[in-house]
């Protein structure tokens, strides 16, 4: 099977066979296809698309390009959650301990932030000592012992994705539903899970800008995940303004701890409970959303969720004191407050604008090799619809550099609009698919 024949077949709009897709993914994994051949086929797929069968074969080949973790020795239905990424999206951090405290094991392999969207691993690593680079054996043992491990991608899991994602990034072939589907699901299915809940975001701060595109992606993810033998559900959620009141790594961990105490911002609590409810239902410990939400609220109220978070932090070498004393998290040297120019209502908080301000402070990465500063970001953000008086805070810049603080404050000022009328607050949870 010559690469050029497979490329030509897709270029001319034909569906590839399982064997042809297997040859392509093997070529990416063992280096037997040149980068220009891989890139040519990626572009042909981008332009011609893939049928549902091709997408399922592609996902399976990617998953089998490395180790598939075996968690069958861990009792219970193992459920993970994946988000397509957003601004201030720290939901995995409060969600995982809550769900585990309700009796559902959560093996979670997460990514780092890239571009404007943050990554769970970077947030967790702001906890002093917290290690996310566990081996697959240590991951398995911790899921069995604590019910949860929050780790990063290992080199053994879906290695073809690492190669192909790097090529997609530089060949304008990222925004392609079959390729996104294969990339996300191959990594998730290799974790050893039984079920998956997806948070597919749409809006200015999301990867998918329109609801229609997000729905198409969600439907494809659910279909291919089910074809892989997993129970899968997807929530479509809005990402117009940042989630919660913080954007930045340690700031978001502190906000996540507040959520585990039941004191988090209303929007973060709402989406966390909605995702958690689907995880409990798929995990077989609740019959419906009402029962599931009641269980989640109970483990928050009686402290079991926070205790589970302490256990996870301690198991991964972190300083578990942060769960009770968030001042042990890294703190920025400089604080600058942006204030409201006049009395009025917050009519807009542009998620992308806030993300770019946080990026300027060093909270995220413009390129994969950039180092992040865990302490910096934007805190105490107002939400759309809130009433403010002249001089009241709209957000606080946490910085370690004076110049960056000044620039980020100007960027934040552009992202937040105060007007006379309250306007409408966007609905957060749009639809459940699957």
Q: Minimum CB separation from ligand URA for residue 273, in Å?
A: 25
Is residue 123 flagged as an active site residue? no
Token output for 428: 């957060």
- Identify the active-site residue in 187, 233, 310, 409: 187
Residues for the chain: how many in total?
434
Taking CB atoms, the residue at the shortest distance from ligand URA is 183
Q: Minimum CB separation from ligand URA for residue 220, in Å?
A: 12
Residue 150 within binding range of ligand URA, rule CB under 6 A: no
Q: Of 169 and 293, which has the nearer Cβ to ligand URA?
A: 169
Q: Of 183 and 241, which has the nearer Cβ to ligand URA?
A: 183
Is residue 187 flagged as an active site residue? yes
Q: Of 118 and 318, which has the nearer Cβ to ligand URA?
A: 118
- Whole-angstrom CA distances from 141 to 135, 196, 351 are 10, 21, 38
Which residues fall within 8 angstroms of residue 348, CB to CB, at 6 or more apart?
241, 384, 415, 416, 417, 423
Q: Minimum CB separation from ligand URA for residue 175, in Å?
A: 9
What is the distance of C-alpha 167 from the center of its chain?
Answer: 21
Residue 249 within binding range of ligand URA, rule CB under 6 A: no
Burial of 274 (0-12, 13-18, 19+ CB in 10 A): buried
What is 325-351 written as a DSSP string?
A: -GGGS---SEEEEEE-SSSEEEEEE-H
Rounded Cα distance between 56 and 223, Å, is 9
Q: Segment contacting ligand URA (CB under 6 A): 71-79, 175-183, 271-279, 291-299?
A: 175-183
Rounded Cα distance between 207 and 365, Å, is 16
What is the distance of C-alpha 425 from the center of its chain?
Answer: 23
Q: Of 68 and 314, which has the nearer Cβ to ligand URA?
A: 68
Rounded Cα distance between 296 and 137, Å, is 29
Is residue 168 flagged as an active site residue? yes
Report yes or no: 381 and 337 within 8 Å, Cβ to Cβ: no
- Identify the active-site residue in 140, 168, 233, 295: 168
Q: Segment contacting ligand URA (CB under 6 A): 44-52, 177-185, 272-280, 373-381?
A: 177-185
Applying CB under 6 A, which of residues 183, 246, 249, 311 lies at the interface with ligand URA?
183
Q: Minimum CB separation from ligand URA for residue 164, in Å?
A: 9
CB atoms within 10 A of CB 328: 16
Residue 184 within binding range of ligand URA, rule CB under 6 A: yes
Residue 153 within binding range of ligand URA, rule CB under 6 A: no
Q: Of 77 and 174, which has the nearer Cβ to ligand URA?
A: 174
- Identify the active-site residue in 64, 78, 82, 345: 82
Phi–psi pair at 91, nearest 5 degrees = -60, -35
Q: What angle do CA 354, 360, 361 make, to 5 degrees?
A: 95
Q: Of 180 and 416, which has the nearer Cβ to ligand URA?
A: 180
Q: Of 179 and 418, which has the nearer Cβ to ligand URA?
A: 179
Q: Segment contacting ligand URA (CB under 6 A): 28-36, 179-187, 197-205, 361-369?
A: 179-187
Size of the site for ligand URA (CB under 6 A): 5
Q: Minimum CB separation from ligand URA for residue 94, in Å?
A: 22
Which residues fall within 8 angstroms of residue 266, CB to CB, at 6 or more apart?
none
Which residues fall within 8 angstroms of residue 396, CB to CB, at 6 or more apart?
335, 336, 337, 338, 378, 379, 380
Token output for 149: 């491990």
Q: Minimum CB separation from ligand URA for residue 180, in Å?
A: 4
Residue 180 within binding range of ligand URA, rule CB under 6 A: yes
Could you list the active site residues? 82, 161, 168, 183, 187
Contact residues for ligand URA, defined by CB under 6 A: 165, 179-180, 183-184
């Amino acid at each position: 099977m010559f690469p050029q024949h497979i490329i030509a077949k897709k270029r001319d709009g034909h569906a590839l066979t399982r064997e042809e897709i297997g040859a392509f993914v093997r070529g990416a994994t063992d280096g037997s296809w040149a980068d220009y051949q891989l890139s040519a086929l990626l572009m042909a797929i981008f332009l011609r698309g893939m049928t549902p069968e091709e997408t399922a074969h592609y996902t399976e080949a990617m998953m089998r390009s490395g180790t598939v973790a075996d968690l069958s020795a861990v009792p219970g239905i193992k459920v993970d959650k994946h988000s397509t990424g957003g601004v201030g999206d720290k939901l995995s951090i409060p969600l995982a301990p809550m769900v585990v405290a309700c009796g559902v094991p959560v093996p979670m392999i997460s990514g780092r932030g890239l571009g404007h969207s943050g990554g769970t691993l970077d947030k967790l690593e702001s906890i002093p000592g917290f290690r996310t680079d566990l081996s697959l054996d240590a991951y398995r043992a911790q899921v069995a012992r604590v019910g949860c491990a929050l780790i990063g991608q290992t080199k053994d899991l879906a290695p073809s994705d690492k190669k192909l994602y790097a090529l997609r990034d530089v060949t304008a072939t990222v925004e392609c539903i079959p390729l996104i589907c294969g990339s996300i699901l191959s990594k998730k299915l290799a974790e050893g899970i039984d079920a998956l809940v997806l948070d597919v975001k749409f809006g200015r701060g999301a990867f998918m800008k329109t609801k229609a595109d997000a729905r198409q992606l969600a439907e494809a993810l659910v279909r291919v995940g089910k074809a892989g033998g997993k129970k899968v559900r997807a929530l479509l959620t809005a990402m117009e303004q940042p989630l919660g009141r913080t954007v930045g790594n340690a700031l978001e961990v502190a906000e996540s701890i507040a959520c585990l105490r039941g004191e988090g911002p209303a929007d973060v609590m709402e989406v966390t409970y909605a995702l958690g409810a689907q995880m409990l239902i798929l995990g077989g410990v609740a019959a419906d959303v009402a029962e599931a939400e009641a269980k989640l609220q109970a483990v928050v109220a009686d402290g079991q969720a926070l205790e589970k978070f302490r256990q996870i932090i301690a198991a991964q070498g972190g300083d578990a004191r942060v769960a009770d004393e968030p001042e042990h998290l890294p703190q920025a040297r400089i604080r600058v407050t942006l204030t409201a120019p006049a009395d009025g209502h917050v009519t807009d908080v542009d998620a992308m604008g806030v993300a770019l301000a946080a990026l300027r402070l060093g909270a995220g990465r413009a390129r994969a090799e950039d180092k992040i500063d865990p302490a910096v970001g934007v805190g105490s953000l107002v939400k759309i619809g809130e009433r403010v008086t002249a001089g009241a805070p709209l957000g606080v810049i946490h910085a370690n550099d004076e110049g960056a603080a000044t620039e980020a404050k100007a960027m934040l000022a552009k992202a937040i609009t105060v007007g006379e009328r309250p306007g409408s607050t966007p609905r957060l949870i749009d639809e459940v698919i699957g």
